[in-house]
């Protein structure tokens, strides 16, 4: 009987410890703690862009990544996006002063079904509150080099509904539409210029451990309204 009681006690103790470990693992999900209830801000790490796992540290670092995600475009086709890096530039001819002489960057590639392969280089922007393109190559535009003053993806602390504007060669506006949505996904609207041209007024969704998930051309609805 004593042996039986000892066995039961050990079994119950193990079960309790395992249960506690499972609860602790759930409680320490870093994405649960990215939002600050006091300041009403969310810290957005680089890992939300790349799809890497995040350790919860509030720091902006381009960590080694080789990731793939399938992005839904206007709710229809799914295009594979690839991210690899970081690499480093040989010189720094931009406004990104924090990087010194060499700028770390990711290479993102995907195949546009209409215009072919697109290659873009991304790094932390000059104001250190987002990612920006350093370089872009596609059939329609050819090669383009950027100054680092704009933004393409928000980083650091942002609030729900916050809007920031950037004085790049063409003014850029970024608005947070859903700061901490289901599964901690982020949705924002990115507009360049007056937003009337194709791909100049887009809504993007990024999710933890996935990265880029969906894109919608916001100016499609505006064009329908004009008809």
Per-residue pLDDT tens digits for 120-138: 999 999 999 999 999 999 9
Bond prior to 86 in cis (omega within 30° of 0): yes
Per-residue burial over 50-70, b if 16 or more Cβ lie within 10 Å, else e, is bbbebeeeeebebbebebebe
User: Cα separation of 68 and 115, whole Å?
Assistant: 20
Name the pTM for this structure: 0.85
In sequence order, which residues have a C-beta less than 8 Å from that of residue 174 and are 6 or more positions away?
130, 151, 154, 163, 164, 165, 166, 188, 189, 190, 191
pLDDT of residue 116: 87
Q: Of all residues in the chain, what percent carry a pLDDT higher than 90? A: 71
Question: Residue ranges per domain, the chain?
Answer: 1-33, 34-226
Q: What are phi and psi of 60, to 5 degrees?
A: -105, 105
pLDDT of residue 226: 38
Per-residue pLDDT tens digits for 170-226: 899 999 999 999 999 999 999 998 888 777 899 999 999 999 999 999 876 544 433
Instruction: Say yes or no to pLDDT of 162 above 70.
Output: yes
| CA-based nearest residue to 92, from 120, 66, 118, 121 | 121
Q: Which of 52-56, 71-75, 98-102, 168-172 has the lowest mean pLDDT?
A: 168-172
């Amino acid at each position: 009987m004593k042996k039986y009681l000892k066995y039961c006690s050990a079994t119950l103790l193990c079960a309790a410890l395992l249960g506690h470990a499972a609860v602790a693992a759930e409680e320490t999900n870093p994405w649960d703690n990215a939002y600050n209830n006091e300041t009403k801000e969310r810290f957005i790490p680089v890992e939300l862009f790349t799809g890497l796992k995040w350790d919860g540290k509030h720091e902006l670092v381009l960590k080694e990544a080789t990731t793939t995600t399938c992005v839904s475009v206007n709710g229809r086709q799914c295009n594979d996006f690839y991210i690899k890096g970081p690499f480093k530039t040989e010189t720094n001819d931009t406004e990104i002063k924090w990087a010194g002489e060499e700028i770390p960057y990711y290479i993102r590639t995907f195949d546009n079904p209409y215009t072919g392969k697109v290659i873009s280089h991304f790094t932390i922007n000059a104001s250190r509150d987002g990612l920006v393109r350093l370089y872009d190559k596609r059939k329609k535009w050819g090669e383009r080099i950027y100054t680092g003053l704009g933004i393409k993806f928000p980083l650091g602390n942002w609030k729900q509904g916050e809007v920031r504007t950037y004085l790049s060669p063409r003014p850029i506006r970024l608005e947070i539409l859903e700061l901490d949505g289901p599964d901690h996904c982020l949705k924002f609207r990115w507009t360049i210029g007056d937003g009337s041209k194709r791909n100049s007024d887009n809504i993007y969704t990024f999710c933890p451990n996935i990265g880029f998930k969906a894109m919608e051309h916001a100016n499609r609805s505006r064009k329908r309204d004009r008809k």
